[in-house]
Structure 1
């Protein structure tokens, strides 16, 4: 009798302690940021057949394996000391909502931790010949847990071009960090760009890469420089032809004016499952200035440059 009581005491103490275990400690045991299949229809091939590509997706939650009903019942019964207690608990569950067990709670927790996000490790760029012409499709190859940074910086982003061919090349196209704690309406976006050359069987492809990122509003201006020939007449009568640099500017980003998120993911507030139905606006130039100069033919040429951008309905 004494041994049985000691056994019951140990079981009850273990049960109480297990209820107070922080689930975040289990992240190291169940990190399951994995790539899952995600097929997307991209059009018809040259024969008219539909084409779907598995572009993949990064799954950021642990998914528990389903158990057969009889095994689930046996495990549920093993939690109770007697059949009478099992029947009582089952009757109470039918009257009201029951608290989920630790396994069920864990299956709904983010797999990468509080300050991490499940993101692609590498992306492969496939070229598919469709009826309307060739199209590039980005395919996620692998996923991993990446630390969510607090500052806005450029981060590496590897893309593989012409995979499994003699011209295969891995380029760091770069990206911007998904910084947390950003002010409302601001995002970490690319502001400077560069380029990389990739050799192909037919020509040389020019790949745009991200060089720098800044915290900007959703609709923002980026530099875009062009050069012109300018003719200058000096006081001594000498005519000089030189290059004139003008930053014309470009408007980038998207406008979400009026678009409110109605349902966000409980695990990651950055993920929106449902938006309201209002139409989004476009990012267009707002302010501008003019630059006038004499061209090579002695004619006055005026070029407008963007100074600011805004969201237009």
Structure 2
């Protein structure tokens, strides 16, 4: 098995809102795991890469957008653990700092029109059906191996939290948290905050990975701010204020919307007084590079 052990710290955040609502809020700092294999990205890759090794595969093939944290994490992990890497990138050909870093780590990129990109398994078969070294990794690390890696967040906790908040793009992380909660026989509620418009589909994706054991899931679909990577002035202002007040850096695509949702739910008294709350900081801070002009 690959040796890249992680155990990210948990720190308490103190803000006037938390005092007012009589709650304690903690952050699981998965953003500190690694500069590029950051947050839930390593957790979602861990068992996937180990299976690739077991199958003697040497080429990781995956998918993502032009600012994808998953692509960067896969590129870096490939370089670190001796894999070649290839990615189908959604949309027209562009050049940006994240893709430059992917190439610096040795990843080969293939830009793909958005319609063809939807058929990921077909693309993989078209280009790699005859390559016995190629190993398919779904967009964002989605899949049962990713879920198993994310479930280990719960194993690492030394305290009990009534409410655990995470941002959602594919549902893998939320499924992993639920799996860990069920395995450890806890009663914590997982609050999943989809960052895409129409995020109710996340519930369906979680159900595919975890057919049973979703009783502790709450989906909050109203905090997408217009869609994936979309922002609003209030979200940008919130990210700036939170970062300056706490020293914990957020980005608007995932963690900004996540913490914004928590604060809104607290303001509306939808989280009980006396609660102990954990925010899972899933990293991906390189996404800020494409949004700095919004601040």
TM range (shorter): under 0.3
Which structure dedicates a bigger proportion of its chain to helix?
2
Higher alpha-carbon Rg: 1
User: Higher relative CO (CA 8 A, sep ≥ 6), structure 1 or 2?
Assistant: 2
Normalised by the length of structure 1, the TM-score is 0.20
